[in-house]
Amino acid sequence: MEEVIGGGRYSGVLTYNHINFLRCPENLTDPAYTRVPCLSGNANHVFANISDHVLYPHQLPESCVKTSVVPTIYNATEKNLSYEAISRMQEEGFDLGWSVDCRDCMADGGYCQLRSQDIKRYTYKCSHGDYMPRWKIILIWVGVILIGVIGLIVVLAVIGLILCKCKRRRKKNENMEDIAHGHQQNTAV
Query: CB–CB of 49/71 below 8 Å?
Result: no
Number of domains composing the chain: 2
Residues 167 and 105 occupy one common structural domain: no
DSSP annotation string for 69-107:
EEEES---S--S--HHHHHHHHHH----EE-HHHHHHHH
Tell whether the torsion through CA atoms of 66, 68, 71 and 77 is positive or negative.
Answer: negative
Q: What is the pLDDT of residue 13?
A: 46
Paired with 66 in beta bridges are: 22
Residues 19 and 102 occupy one common structural domain: yes
- Domain range spanning residue 78? 2-127
Pairwise pLDDT comparison (153 vs 137), residue with the higher score = 153
- This prediction has a pTM of 0.48
Residues 98 and 150 occupy one common structural domain: no
Share of the chain above pLDDT 70, in %: 72
Q: What is the pLDDT of residue 180?
A: 65
The domain boundary residue, chosen from 127, 156, 176: 127
